[in-house]
A and B are shown apart, each in its own frame.
Chain A
């Protein structure tokens, strides 16, 4: 649908924030048309059904706090805004100063909503809850953070387990807390999560992204850290007899890593397979209900929905040496399915080795 466009005559000129956009960045002259437009807007021409406004952008939270006062102009809309230090709720008090600084540093780089739905305010509100889970409930221990590249696109590939994806949340938090400057890995979630009411909004607002090829490529293209569970739903529905045995790997993440010239960092997450051991998966029932799994666990369905909650097992997260396939193969290699499958198996072996080594 792109049509047959012709090459441009001149490169586009970016307008920096804070500069006068009516001044031509190349010649330094004021565009007479834009000046006319500005004058028109000031005149508030009759016949326009426009309610007069004070043309300052403000944050909704700031405006709500000072309804009578002049709104504080800001360069760009931020809504709803969050002021740091964060509100001292019981959960927020658990968050130490160092973690708060990490969060503040991260939030400072987010403005409103990003193109994947990440919300500054939602992240700030969710952080204390997940931090409490990280510190008190799962008591996460982690090692070898130095192996995570501090800049540039990376793919973090981990084993998957547990009925609910708390392993993803703990992995995201661990990377966030142990990188400088703090990096927020964007976890890739199953496509069906995008169809679930409330879940899809929550996932998007805290930075998780539905796993389409376009999203994956775009994230890596923007230099983000992307967290993937190449086993997919096979990982979370494996029975207790298969725990910590990695299942069949999807290979899309290798293709994108090759195209984006991104290293793949293998991660072992220990504890997730023990948080809700599946005794039996009633697959016909799952198919009937359109769910990825219909598990029988020691607590589910006997205790109702509460039985799905994870047991308070200790998590261990270990990072492996980055696998820099892009140094051995060019991006064209992503088109070779045999090679991509072989590289995915190599990642699988690396994660399995990490898991076995750290379980011993």
Chain B
């Protein structure tokens, strides 16, 4: 039986994972953390004495608040032995840099990892990472295994840089005898209703996006339900290391944008370069990340054989398109 701490349980992926773990008979207690108010979906989970599900508001990017949480009596009473690190994602505000311009996502990962190592009771940490950390060669068909090179180019956009930094933080702890660290690299996550997460270009509110004209890269996708299943599978194994997880489907950027209410307008490359340069000049780093980046030009397909063979995880949801109640075609995930 596991007692699990979940970060960012107020964000869509965290909510989905918390729901899956709530219905997992092998999970004894859940401590869900979030920045916002408790999502209404969790209201019914808090019944019972002692409660099986506890929600706590916390700013994970602040050293003091994280430190107090991990040393609190509540942590000891709940007997948390596993941490599911769900990164900041979706339309969540980026948050001001805390120390020396470190992005909030990186600061959170560092603090959670550090305190998990320091804790006496925590034995495993399951982290969600992004598959956009890989270096993409000029090709529409980059086949990426867990051993593929990461994009360590110093000019990489800050959005990607924070993912890469988080990835490397967890990578450095795989050999730890004290804490089992397992990193799941997930591609673009799609959810029923046309929602999309963890794609550096498409994440955020719906609306128009741009892409370089003449490029339409193919990319792996995965359903949010499969992400939650992968986390649950990872939680109950004793494996460590990196695992790529993805659905069987691959979608071109133009189609993915159309299906998720974020149509991508092709713009000539030189114009994009000028706009990107201007964005960098005037401090619009987030905008710059959306105007350039190898993922807008070169495709990628994740090799998920390791997850299937060693972790025993195979996707159970297929990603397609369905007509919604308002008559619009949107992305949908259905069980195989």
Contacts and interface: CB of A to CB of B under 8 A. Distances in A.
Contact of A50 (B137, B138, B192): B192
A232 interface: no
Contact of B20 (A14, A37, A49): A37
Contacts of A196: 214
Nearest to B324: A53
A71 interface: yes
A2 interface: yes
Contact of B41 (A45, A112, A115): A45
A28 interface: no
Interface residues of B, number: 76
Most buried by A among B255, B309, B323: B323
B155 interface: no
A201 B192 CA distance: 28
Contacts of A36: 23
A298 B214 CA distance: 31
Contacts of A67: 327
Contact of B251 (A57, A113, A114, A212): A113
B2 to A, nearest CB: 14
A51 interface: yes
A360 to B, nearest CB: 40
Interface in B248-307: 249-252, 255, 269, 298-299, 301, 306
List the 6 closest pairs (A to B, CB-CB), nearest first: A3-B241, A197-B214, A77-B320, A47-B40, A57-B320, A204-B140
22 contacts: A1-B242, A2-B241, A6-B238, A12-B309, A12-B313, A15-B316, A21-B316, A32-B25, A33-B232, A40-B23, A41-B192, A47-B40, A49-B195, A58-B321, A60-B329, A113-B218, A113-B252, A117-B141, A194-B298, A197-B269, A200-B139, A218-B143
Interface of A: 1-15, 17, 19, 21-22, 32-34, 36-38, 40-41, 45-58, 60, 63, 67, 71, 76-77, 79, 112-117, 191-192, 194-201, 203-204, 209-210, 212, 214-215, 218
Interface of B: 15, 19-20, 23-25, 39-41, 137-143, 146-148, 150, 171, 174-175, 183, 191-195, 212-216, 218, 225, 232, 238-242, 249-252, 255, 269, 298-299, 301, 306, 308-314, 316, 318-327, 329-330, 332, 334-336
